[in-house]
Each structure stands twice: as structure tokens, then as C-alpha cells.
Amino acid sequence: MSIKVAGVSKNFGDFAALTDVSVDIPSGSLTALLGPSGGGKSTLLRVIAGLEQPDSGVVQIDGVDATVLPPQRRGVGFVFQHYAAFKHMTVERNVAFGLSIRHKPKAEIRERVRELLELVHLEQFAHRYPSQLSGGQRQRMALARALAVEPKVLLLDEPFGALDAQVRKELRAWLRRLHDKVHVTTVFVTHDQEEAMEVADEIVVMADGVVKQVGSPDELYERPSSDFVMSFLGPVTRIGGELVRPHDIELFDEPEAGARPATVSRVTRLGFEVRVDLDIDGEEAWAQVTRGTAEHLALEQGKQIFIRPQHTRTSVAASSAPRSTS
């Protein structure tokens, strides 16, 4: 089920959380709202869920105007950063909550809960209380709870934000696989570009309450529409005033066409990759090369080399105007 947000603005006192935001989220997609904290992405998610009322603008879910609908009637599943587990209920009853308040037959609820717990790999924890689960398990329970009512859209607010790095990584891959299985239109908020790139089909980059750019992970990485998007989505360095990805810099030990001289100020080996800090006419920059290249060029501190950026943002920006909405 698709989601359409058109011209949504939301202020909290003097603070403009969202300013004229328009986004289209196609049915069945897995979309990330990516941006720095305070950029408005959580507010947008809460507006879609009906947990916040926009000051102006329209929210459509599955073609129906949902702007004034209460959260109860939007058919959204919402997953919170801090799980929002019902602490006084067992895992089983947490997951069953949405069904039991709809007075579904007991047998049907039991069957559905069993299926869902299997889906999130919590079968053996059905009778535990949330306090007896780890963070990752709690979040999977929250996800099963949200899916139980067969929502039209699934909204996740920084779902892995409270988990440690290892669990985060596992759950990311797991969410991706789950979406491939369940196919519910899913939107998740994250400030972690790696998470967004790894999990999402489509990324909406937000900052300062506006949409900066929308596109697939590749599009955003290869053709960022602004310095902000480029630097938010991956490592950048600046050469001659232009932003460039450190791995898009060619290094030579002889002068080449379009290459400029630079001095190696430091070589750091990080396993397979090698970080080369450079001094270009007093300006600092860095390049990322493979171990092979570093050995081939015999890079070491103080060595005089020549560098040539392959792509810079300004040379490609024209091809990717912000595609925020249609």
C-alpha cells in the first residue's frame, strides 16, 4: 500500500520540524528516512502514523486521505526505538494484543501468534516477560506485535538505535529478509547511512525539516544532488574546493594529464584498504587505495606523488536534480 505525503509542515513552538515536505512511497517498498538527528525524519514518520498532527499538508495511505484519521484507524504498524513493550504482558500476549482487542476467536489468535513468533524466532520465549528478553529480542517482539494486525504500512522509528553494533548488524540483514518475505510497505527512520544503504530500496534524505534528495542507494551515492547529501552518504575529502570520494582519487608516481602534485603526509594500513593522507599545496586531503596500489607506488611519508580525482560532485550534479515528489 502506497504512502503519499504532500506539502506537510509541522512546527513545535518556534522550531520548524517539517517544512513543506512531500514524499511518495510506492507500495511494497522498503524506504529509509535518513538524516542527522533533529532533521525531521521521526516527526515525518509520526505524522504518517497519526501520532502527530501536521499543521498543514496531506497524508494519504493506500489512496485514502488519512490526514485527520486517528492512529487507531490508519492501519499502520509502528515500531519504536525503545521497543514500547507492554511490560506487564508476556511476549505472547504482547503480540496478541492487536488481535485480542479486536475480539478475534481465541484459536485464531493462538495460531497467528505462533506463526508470528516463528517468523521473528521467538517461539521459545512466548511465556517470558519483556524484561527477560535482550534488546534485540524485544525489538523482534515489537515487530511481530506490529505485524499481527496485518498493517497496510509498517513504520519503524530508529528500530535498531538502542541496540549494540553486533545485534544491529544482524537485525538489519534480518529486516531485509523479513521484508522480502512479508512485502508490507515499510518505512524506517535511521541516522546511520550504512544502515540505510544496506537495507533500503529507496532512501529519503532529510535535514532541517526538508527533503534533500530521494533515490536508490546507488543513485544517492553516485549522484548526490548537494554537498550535504554527498558528505552524509559516505566519506568525502576536498580537493581544489571540490568534494570527492577518497576512493575516487587516482595516484601516480609520474606526472599525468590532469594530475596535480601532492605530498604523502601519512600512510595508514587498515587491513585491505590503505588510507593516504595528502598535502596538496598546503591543503589537507586524503585518499583511500588498495593495499596493492600502496605497495606498487611504494607509498611512504614524505613521498612526492601525483593525484587525479576521477569524479567530483559538481561535475555530475546536473544529472540528478532533487526528485522529491511528483
Partner 1 sequence: MSPPASNDLSAGGGGTLAVPPLTGGPRIGGGRTARRGLSGRFVVGPTLTGGFVVLFLSVVVLIPLAVLVYKSTGSGWAGFWHQVHSPFAWSALKLTVVMSLLVALINLVMGTAIAWLLVRDRMPGRQFLDTIIDLPFALPTIVAGVTLILLFGPTSPIGINLAYARSGVLLALLFVSLPFVVRTVQPVLLELDRDMEEAAASLGASQFTIFRRIILPTIAPAMAAGTTLAFARALSEFGSTVLISGNLPGKTQVAAVFIYGKIQEDSVTGAAAVSTVLLAVSLVVLVLLNVIQLWVARRD
Using CB under 8 A, list all residues that contact partner 1: 49-51, 70-74, 76-78, 80, 82-88, 97-98, 101-102, 129, 131, 142, 145-146, 148-149
Helix, coil or strand: residue 247: helix
Tell me the closest approach of the beta carbon of residue 217 to partner 1, in angstroms: 28
Question: d(Cα 324, Cα 207) in Å, to the nearest integer?
Answer: 13
Question: d(Cα 108, Cα 103) in Å, to the nearest integer?
Answer: 10
Q: Smaller CB distance to partner 1: residue 147 or 214?
A: 147
Q: Smaller CB distance to partner 1: residue 187 or 207?
A: 187
For 257, residues 6+ apart whose C-beta sits below 8 A from its C-beta are none
Tell me the closest approach of the beta carbon of residue 204 to partner 1, in angstroms: 21
Q: Smaller CB distance to partner 1: residue 62 or 208?
A: 62
Which stretch of DSSP H or E encloses residue 271?
A: none
Tell me the closest approach of the beta carbon of residue 187 to partner 1, in angstroms: 13
Question: Which residue, 146, 153, 142, is CA-closest to 83?
Answer: 142
Helix, coil or strand: residue 84: coil
Q: Smaller CB distance to partner 1: residue 152 or 223?
A: 152
Q: 260-270 and 273-280: which strand pairing? A: antiparallel
Q: Smaller CB distance to partner 1: residue 124 or 131?
A: 131
CA distances from residue 160 to 33, 86, 198 in whole angstroms, order as listed: 14, 18, 13
Tell me the closest approach of the beta carbon of residue 117 to partner 1, in angstroms: 16
Tell me the closest approach of the beta carbon of residue 181 to partner 1, in angstroms: 21
